[in-house]
Structure 1
Amino acid sequence: VGGLTKWATTAESKLDSTSATASHASNGDALLTAFVESAAVETFFLWDRYKKIKDKEDKEQQDLFGYVSSEPDELDDGLKNGEIPEEFLRQMFYTLGDYRDILFSGNNDNNIVLEASGTKEEKQKMKQIQQKIKQILESGDKASGLQEKNSVTNPRDTWWSKNAPDILKGMVCALTHKTEKPGDVDKQVETALMKKLDKDNGEYTYDKVTFKGGFDDDSKTSQAMALGAGPKAHLETTTKLKDFVKRPPFV
């Protein structure tokens, strides 16, 4: 959440030194930028770690069984075809859920994000982030694209509905950067993944992306599968991202 920490610190100084209207408008945009950048950077490092773990597991299997595997190359080749591994896609779901927690948990008594933060310093940083989010979202400034203060709609719901697709897009775009040279973009991966983000037909858009397992689609709820579900139910169902991020403990 480095981007959010930087945003909260900058927002503090701006709110102290500029007019309320101007600062709320600029910080509304800056808040989105902070969320997108933080989630994208985290996704990049998660992907790098995921590849290294898979490479290590593969080498151990090679040593044990004496065969040569192409799995590490297959991960990159998959991205070049616009395919994010199912296992990693699930990690991305959890990551986006974490960022929704940051947005919403500061608005209730059960602040699970703050409680889950590690050190005292980390808790203080998260508290500062959530205080600034609260200040910006409850300002009621139309220029930032938020609901009026007296609206029956929760400003956090409004903000998330509007901006979650862009946060996910930033996470997917992070995968276009080469892990061995982060400053470089793999053009083939970029072309393939951008097609998957197409508003009308893309399978990785916020409203359409799914992973196998999780919820029973027929239930039309965001709750976990029923206790009576069969042993393979998690393999036979799919979960939409927009539903997954709302599941406990993400609220």
Structure 2
Amino acid sequence: VINLQHLSDQTSDGLRKAFIQCAAVETFFLWHKYKKDNNGGDAQAKLNTGAIPEDFKRQMYYTFGDFRDLCLDKNIGSDVSDVESKIKGVFPNSSGETSETKRKKFWETNKNDIWEGMLCALSYDTKKQTMDKEVRDKLTGSKSNYNTIKDDLADFAT
């Protein structure tokens, strides 16, 4: 959550960018660990077809839920006070709209992009140090995009 901890652009756009970057980095490292623990070649081969292993997708759901909870000011149980104060700075209470309402609107507006950032992180090829466009297109296509999985994700996250 380093990008959120050190958020310097305390605007809605700056926060959006930080959430996407943090979620992508977290997913990248989760995937790296998952491959190491679960016969990486087979997992990567499956991912290259656009299919995310179900047990890894569950980890992604947890991660996505953690970022949602951070955004909505829910207690996620770890020391994130720096992050919480940065987010609060973007959403001060003002006449007519509470911070809570602004946070909910922000999340609804940006959750698809945050999820897509997580998917894009899975297509990063560490050997070539670039995105694998073919894998990225498969992952962000209809099979795993937010609109396809949102019901599963909403059920999981509530």
TM-score after normalising by structure 2? 0.87
Q: Deviations over 1:86-128 (max 9, x none)?
A: 11001000000011111123xxxxx523xx22xxxxx3xx212
User: Match of 2:4?
Assistant: 4
Structure with the higher fraction of residues in helix conformation:
2
* Deviation (angstroms), 1:182: 7.0
The count of aligned residue pairs is: 157
Of 30, 33, 42, which aligns to 1:74?
A: 42
User: Match of 1:168?
Assistant: 115
SS in 2 for 1:168: helix
What is the CA–CA distance in structure 1 between the aligned matches of 2:26 and 2:138, rounded to whole Å?
21
Supply the AA of the counterpart residue of 1:36.
I
What is the CA–CA distance in structure 2 between the aligned matches of 1:2 and 1:182, rounded to whole Å?
25
User: Match of 1:193?
Assistant: 139
Q: Check conservation: 2:5, 2:86, Cα contact below 8 A.
A: no
User: Match of 1:54?
Assistant: 38
SS in 1 for 2:50: coil
1:82-101, aligned counterparts within 5 Å? Answer: 82-101=50-69
Across the aligned residues of Structure 1 and Structure 2, the Cα RMSD in angstroms comes to 2.2
SS in 1 for 2:147: coil
Larger radius of gyration: 1
**Identical counterparts, % of pairs:** 36
Query: Structure 2, unaligned stretches of length 5 or more?
Result: none
What is the CA–CA distance in structure 2 between the aligned matches of 1:75 and 1:171, rounded to whole Å?
17
Of 53, 75, 81, which aligns to 1:127?
A: 81
TM-score after normalising by structure 1? 0.57
SS in 1 for 2:38: helix
SS in 2 for 1:204: coil
What is the CA–CA distance in structure 2 between the aligned matches of 1:182 and 1:156, rounded to whole Å?
38
What is the CA–CA distance in structure 2 between the aligned matches of 1:30 and 1:182, rounded to whole Å?
29
What is the CA–CA distance in structure 1 between the aligned matches of 2:97 and 2:14, rounded to whole Å?
23
Task: Work out which structure has the larger RCO, using CA pairs closer than 8 Å and 6 or more positions apart in sequence.
Answer: 2
